[in-house]
Amino acid sequence: MAIFEYEALNQAGKKTSGLIDAGTPREAREKLRHLNLFPIEVLPGSEIIKKRKRWEKIKKEEVALLTRQLSSLLRSGLPLVESVESLAQQHEGRSLQRILLDIGSSIREGKTFHNALSQYPHIFSPLYLNMVKAAEESGELEKVLSHLSFLLFREITFKNKVKNAFTYPLFVLMVGAGVLTFLLLKVIPSLSKLFAQFNYPLPFLTKLLISFSQYLKTNGKWLGLGIIILAGISFFLHKKLHEKIDEWRIKIPLLGKIFLRIMLTNFSFTLSSLIKGGVPILEALTLSRPILNNRRMEQVIQEAEERIKRGESFSRTLREHPLFPPLFIQMVELGEKGGNLEEMLEESSRIYEEETEILLSRFSILLEPIVILGIGVVVGIIVIAILLPIFQMNEILMGK
């Protein structure tokens, strides 16, 4: 039995589409007619999917869940192709259904699971594909898929923790910026007209605020254009000075420590997972390198690969570069000496993850009051600038 994707007309004459089990396209059409549907087009899922491969988008959470479910089905004794097609029928998302159908069809045609997944490089990362390849060669696909699902869910959880640490301060900053923009572009111009009617001399702070408000209103477009140009120049310089900027980024007080530990957490765990999955150390280093997202540190790892080929140790290369902290180098060295590099890397990842959470918590605790205080001070200055002339006019009127 194969799964076909169809387009048909229902009894009301409206177009409908979906998936149906059948042995042949003809049998699929007959089934549709029995369901009171008039088939327009019936194609194997794989033919339709090929037209859409480039723009099918699947969330990482869905890939992680799919991997866990596939591992469970394989553990229960169901063959791979039947497991994949079973998952296709269970999932409600049409995009994921189509992809699973295509993968199942490729396996039935004689392709390996790795080759079938390779048709979707925008969904399954090189790390994922190489771990599956190593698992197929070692015959431990179910075990490796279980580990992969754990890796993906852990990555998602860790990223969410990092995002959550910055979400509230950024939200407060955006709301504050919106309030300030409203005051400067709407409230202040209205009050300046009101003050002009009384023809009283205004305090310096009020004059300054009104002048700034008028400048923003008159030259707002040019300022926006200037910001866009500066952003473009910054982007260009970042590409040119990428390596140097990456070095500076991890030396920023507090934030630099956070960036470095996030990189080492992800790198350590990814490298450990690849080695555990049966991927050779050199290939594992090549695949893990982009995880660092730091050009200078990636160069160090690339240099380490070349030196490992010549028989040198990984830890020795790292010792010659101050970018990697001593703890990480010591853990790698202990792993090399004890023959349990993957375990030491996993332990290193756990340590750096805990450190990252502590640093993120501290940063968030510091950032929130700073942002709130900063916005409060600016709003307070605006309020004082507005109230000063009102109090002065009131005093003059009372004196009369």
pLDDT tens digits along 341-357: 889 998 999 899 888 88
Regarding whether 58 and 119 lie in a shared domain, the answer is yes
* Residue 32 pLDDT class (50, 70, 90 cuts): confident
Whether residue 320 is predicted with pLDDT greater than 80 in this model: the reply is yes
Residue 159 within any structural domain of the chain = no
Regarding whether 369 and 293 lie in a shared domain, the answer is yes
Residue 64 within any structural domain of the chain = yes
Whether residue 305 is predicted with pLDDT greater than 70 in this model: the reply is yes
Residue 160 within any structural domain of the chain = no
Among candidate residues 118, 152, 186, the one where a domain is terminated? 152
Regarding whether 58 and 145 lie in a shared domain, the answer is yes
Q: Tell me what pLDDT residue 69 has.
A: 92
* Residue 1 pLDDT class (50, 70, 90 cuts): low
Task: Please state, in angstroms and rounded to a whole number, the distance separating the CA atoms of residues 377 and 280.
Answer: 57
Rounded to 10°, the helix 94-108/80-90 angle is: 160
Regarding whether 220 and 178 lie in a shared domain, the answer is yes
Q: What is the pLDDT of residues 135-169, one digit of tens each?
A: 888 788 888 888 888 888 888 888 888 888 788 88
Q: Tell me what pLDDT residue 45 has.
A: 56
305 within 8 A of 318, measured Cβ to Cβ: no
Regarding whether 33 and 113 lie in a shared domain, the answer is no
Average pLDDT, integer, range 240-244 = 62
* Residue 398 pLDDT class (50, 70, 90 cuts): low
Average pLDDT, integer, range 18-40 = 78
Whether residue 24 is predicted with pLDDT greater than 60 in this model: the reply is yes
Whether residue 93 is predicted with pLDDT greater than 80 in this model: the reply is no
Regarding whether 231 and 187 lie in a shared domain, the answer is yes
Mean pLDDT score of the chain, rounded to an integer?
81
Regarding whether 35 and 96 lie in a shared domain, the answer is no
Q: Tell me what pLDDT residue 399 has.
A: 55
Domain residues for 190?
Answer: 166-400
Whole-prediction pTM: 0.67
Residue 161 within any structural domain of the chain = no
> How many residues are listed for the chain in this entry?
400
Residue 260 within any structural domain of the chain = yes
Whether residue 232 is predicted with pLDDT greater than 70 in this model: the reply is yes
Residue 311 within any structural domain of the chain = yes
Task: Please state, in angstroms and rounded to a whole number, the distance separating the CA atoms of residues 164 and 23.
Answer: 50
Give the amino acid at 55. W
* Residue 290 pLDDT class (50, 70, 90 cuts): confident
* Residue 68 pLDDT class (50, 70, 90 cuts): very high
Regarding whether 343 and 242 lie in a shared domain, the answer is yes
Nearest residue to 73 via CA among 60, 82, 62, 63: 82
- In which region does residue 77 sit, left (phi positive, over 0), alpha (psi from -120 to 50) or beta (all else)? left
65's tokens: 């869940």
Residue 251 within any structural domain of the chain = yes
CATH of the domain at 39: 3.10.20
CATH of the domain at 319: 1.20.81.30
Residue 158 within any structural domain of the chain = no
Regarding whether 388 and 309 lie in a shared domain, the answer is yes
Regarding whether 399 and 290 lie in a shared domain, the answer is yes
User: Does residue 393 or residue 81 have the better pLDDT?
Assistant: 81
* Residue 191 pLDDT class (50, 70, 90 cuts): confident
Number of domains the chain contains: 3
Nearest residue to 150 via CA among 128, 134, 133, 129: 128
Regarding whether 95 and 236 lie in a shared domain, the answer is no
Task: Please state, in angstroms and rounded to a whole number, the distance separating the CA atoms of residues 51 and 65.
Answer: 25
Regarding whether 109 and 128 lie in a shared domain, the answer is yes
135's tokens: 């698992």
Q: Tell me what pLDDT residue 67 has.
A: 92
* Residue 334 pLDDT class (50, 70, 90 cuts): very high
Q: Tell me what pLDDT residue 237 has.
A: 63
**Among 177-181, 218-222, 378-382, whose mean pLDDT is lowest?**
218-222
Among candidate residues 106, 124, 152, the one where a domain is terminated? 152
